[in-house]
Amino acid sequence: MSDASAEPLSESDMEAWAQVSGAGMANALRGLSKMLGQEIATGVVSTRRVPLMEATELLGGPEAATAAVYFALSGDAQGHMVLVYVPEVAFELVDMAMGDPPGTTKDLGEMERSVLGEVGNVMGGYFLQTLGDTSGMSLRMSPPAVMMDMAGAVIDAVIADIMVFSDEVVVVETEFGTDQRRVHGTFLVMPSPTLIRGLSKSRRAA
Amino acid sequence: MTKILIVDDAAFMRMKTKKLLAAMGYDVVEASNGAEAVDTYKRTKPDCVLLDITMPDMDGLTALKLLLALDPNARVTMLTAMGQQTIVLEALQSGAVDFIVKPFDSARVLAAVEKMVA
């Protein structure tokens, strides 16, 4: 991430981020519901600052087995997005997207990874649509990187990038799912200070 | 037979789109990134293109510009989850005929294809 800044984020910056990212999460879940053809509910959307040393706890601890989809944000501001599932839930999500009975998917081959990547594309794209249209910034995301690994390995590269300018990370996280089929996941967004300030500025100007 | 080039890095999306179009009698060719799309376009000369934006190696907006430089009459619809106003505008100003936000509705894709090949 290249938009480091020594200026600390203000409370109004954080308030703006909480409001816009909450709307972005709702839009992301709308995209997922449309993709799966059923209503996906979101839990409480939480925005907070987390010390970098504790970041792996966001994914259940460094040794937690995860299936994760990672995107780098670029364009007018930078950041990171990670969608995290326990492996069994990722398999269930693939079954739903493919229209297969529960229990069909037992591993992540090329096709299954592309399904998880596309789920991430839709959620990330809809989230960024809210942020971009609210702020006027042009925000892009990288192609998805789908990983099956321990949480520590998934998040280490992200932490290394953020460490360049901060010893804490601002995250927005929520859990989502449906009662009928088990598709609970966690959506983490780690924006750069420039992205948060851009949103805050656009809200003040509105 | 009308030939359509589908460009998407996600094998799942290529499979889903190909299934839809093949069932309607279209001949489908595929590419998994922008560079491959340009190469496949040269070789197979499709009647129209469905082009994703977020792809490795070469993204869809860059590929769109190269395709139109190669063939100013190329008919291209962007098919992407990136629905921001700035990106939609950039694609249309760059010469895309249409823009569909994923996850797509089958009827919307078929209408876009019919519009391109009309």
Q: Rg of the Cα trace of chain A?
A: 16
Considering Cα of B15, then A130, then B110, then A36, what sign does the dihedral take? positive
Predicted pLDDT of residue A54: 85
User: Is the residue at A65 inside a domain?
Assistant: yes
Angle between helices A87-98 and A110-135 (to 10 degrees): 90
Strand, helix or coil for residue A144? coil
Q: What is the pLDDT of residues A25-84, one digit of tens each?
A: 999 999 999 998 888 888 778 888 888 888 888 888 889 899 999 999 999 998 999 988
Report ipTM for this prediction.
Answer: 0.89
User: Is the residue at A5 inside a domain?
Assistant: no
Closest among B42, B52, B47 to B14, alpha carbons compared: B52
Least confident interval from A27-41, A105-119, B36-50: A27-41
User: Is the residue at A28 inside a domain?
Assistant: yes
Q: How many CA atoms are closer than 13 Å to the CA of B114, on its beta-carbon side? A: 8
User: Is the residue at A18 inside a domain?
Assistant: yes
Predicted pLDDT of residue A1: 46
User: Is the residue at A104 inside a domain?
Assistant: yes
CATH, residue A123: 3.40.1550.10
Distance CA A90, CA A83 (A): 10
Who's near A106: CB < 8 A, 6+ residues apart? A91
User: What are the two backbone dihedrals, phi and then psi, of residue B27, each rounded to the nearest 5 degrees?
Assistant: -90, 130
Query: Which residue of chain B has the CA closest to A73?
Result: B54
Q: What is the pLDDT of residues A125-178, one digit of tens each?
A: 999 999 999 988 999 999 999 999 998 888 887 787 777 767 888 888 887 877
Q: Which residues of B touch A (CB under 8 A)?
A: 9-13, 15, 54-56, 80-87, 90, 101-103
Distance CA A22, CA A25 (A): 5
Distance CA B64, CA B62 (A): 5
For residue A195, what are the CA distances in angstroms to A1, A17, A45, A159, B66?
Answer: 11, 9, 18, 17, 31
Strand, helix or coil for residue A24? helix
User: What are the two backbone dihedrals, phi and then psi, of residue A174, each rounded to the nearest 5 degrees?
Assistant: -150, 160
pLDDT surpasses 60 at A4:
no
**Overall number of domains in chain A:** 1
CA distance A45 to chain B (A): 22
Give the domain extent around A27: 11-205
Q: How many CA atoms are closer than 13 Å to the CA of B62, on its beta-carbon side? A: 10
Predicted pLDDT of residue A6: 53
Closest among A103, A120, A133 to A198, alpha carbons compared: A133
Global pTM?
A: 0.90
CB contact under 8 A, B81 and A111: no
The encoded tokens of residue A46 equal: 């939480």
User: Is the residue at A6 inside a domain?
Assistant: no
CB contact under 8 A, B12 and A118: yes
Distance CA A114, CA A12 (A): 39
User: Is the residue at A2 inside a domain?
Assistant: no
Least confident interval from A5-9, B46-50, B107-111: A5-9
Residues in chain B within 8 Å Cβ distance of A111: 11-12, 15
Predicted pLDDT of residue A165: 67
**Overall number of domains in chain B:** 1
CB contact under 8 A, B82 and A141: yes
User: Is the residue at A73 inside a domain?
Assistant: yes
Give the domain extent around B98: 3-117
Q: What is the pLDDT of residues B53-98, one digit of tens each?
A: 999 999 999 999 999 999 999 999 999 998 888 999 999 999 999 9
Closest among B48, B53, B75 to B63, alpha carbons compared: B53
CATH, residue B86: 3.40.50.2300
CB contact under 8 A, B82 and A140: yes
